[in-house]
């Protein structure tokens, strides 16, 4: 794959830490295996044959995925780093703005962030810690609540200027509602707001919360989100929270397996996260 990407055996050899002749030899063996030419030379330059291009286009991305997975696995098991798995949205709007405080307290600490939109419990064995978003009690993990979550509609200032701010939940019929991978949360919110049979002007499913927020910022619809994570955008007027109705019972919780023993580096991260979570909880009560 490297030789096909560079179309130069010397550059491929440099990346693989072998000689150009070794790459050429391996290519000849591969061509003998398939019984066809994969490369050809034209005007002194290396080109893929149609068969070579067919093979490269179908195998390059899977091999890159394997390489990334191997690098991530090595990073996750590095003795120097603390591996924290969390949702990208939480990382962007809660964790990232606070990380300078962690570095100030522990300047030599190496944190390896692994982002997953949906975190399966089986994956927690691969990392030191995880922050999950859930409404459920988790019995097979150590669970420490970082902050209470809620879901309420948010819209952009640009959409409000174009279509107005809905004055009551029934007004949402004039808007496009942006959903996660299903309509569950919007259905629950609309029922709680007293309009369970509302028919919006349109619906759009976007399974990534960060991407869904970009659609909102572009004025393409209204999403449900936690106003505490978006407090900065609401405070500066970029986003508007039109209603007081919200779904409760959600939380962001720091978790790890019951049998996990932590080293000092990991315990430092735990202590810092819980401290920041306490500050956030106090801020929630004030607002």
Could you report the per-residue pLDDT of 76-115, keeping only the tens digit for each? 555 578 999 999 999 999 999 999 999 999 999 999 999 9
Instruction: Provide the pLDDT for residue 74.
Output: 59
| pTM (two decimals) | 0.69
Nearest to 199 by CA among 212, 215, 183: 183
3-state secondary structure of 10: helix
The first and second tokens of residue 267, run together, are: 């315990």
- Element holding 75 (H helix, E strand): helix 50-76
Confidence of residue 18 (pLDDT cuts 50, 70, 90): confident
Mean predicted confidence (pLDDT) in 220-241:
95
- Show the DSSP H helices in 218-263 as ranges: 231-235
113, 184, 241 from 194: Cα distances, Å: 40, 16, 18
Distance from the first to the final alpha carbon of the chain: 55
The first and second tokens of residue 2, run together, are: 């490297």
Helix 9-16 with 20-34: angle, nearest 10 deg: 100
78, 85, 86, 132, 198 from 90: Cα distances, Å: 24, 11, 7, 9, 30
Residue 9's φ and ψ, nearest 5 degrees, are: -70, -30
- The pLDDT tens digits for 116-143 are 888 887 888 889 999 999 876 677 789 9
Residue linked to tokens 């590095």: 78
Confidence of residue 176 (pLDDT cuts 50, 70, 90): very high
Confidence of residue 188 (pLDDT cuts 50, 70, 90): very high
Nearest to 153 by CA among 180, 186, 192: 186
CB distance 98 to 265 below 8 Å:
no
Nearest to 170 by CA among 248, 247, 242: 242
Beta-strand pair 176-179/247-257: unpaired
């Amino acid at each position: 794959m490297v030789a096909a990407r560079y179309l130069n055996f010397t550059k491929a050899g440099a990346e693989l830490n072998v000689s150009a002749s070794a790459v050429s030899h391996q290519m000849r063996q591969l061509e003998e295996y398939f019984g066809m030419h994969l490369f050809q030379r034209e005007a002194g330059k290396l080109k893929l044959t149609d068969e070579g291009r067919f093979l490269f286009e179908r195998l390059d991305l899977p091999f890159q995925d394997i390489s990334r997975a191997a690098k991530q696995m090595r990073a996750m098991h590095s003795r120097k780093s603390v591996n924290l798995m969390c949702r990208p949205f939480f990382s962007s709007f809660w964790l990232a703005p606070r990380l300078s405080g962690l570095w100030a307290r522990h300047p030599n600490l190496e944190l390896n962030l692994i982002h997953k939109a949906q975190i399966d419990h089986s994956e927690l064995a691969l990392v030191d810690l995880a922050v999950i978003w859930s409404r459920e009690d988790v019995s097979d993990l150590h669970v420490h609540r970082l902050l209470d979550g809620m879901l309420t509609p948010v819209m952009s200032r640009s959409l409000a200027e174009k279509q107005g701010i809905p004055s009551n939940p029934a007004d949402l019929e004039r808007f496009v509602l942006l959903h996660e991978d299903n309509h569950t949360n919007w259905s629950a919110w609309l029922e709680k707001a007293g309009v369970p049979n509302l028919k919006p002007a349109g619906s759009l499913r976007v399974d990534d919360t960060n991407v869904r927020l970009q659609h909102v910022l572009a004025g393409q619809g209204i999403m449900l989100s936690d106003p505490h994570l978006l407090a900065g955008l609401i405070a500066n007027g970029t986003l508007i929270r039109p209603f007081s109705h919200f779904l409760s019972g959600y939380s962001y919780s720091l978790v790890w397996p019951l049998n996990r023993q932590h080293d000092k580096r990991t315990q430092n991260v735990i202590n810092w996260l819980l401290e920041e979570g306490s500050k956030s909880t106090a801020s929630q009560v004030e607002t």
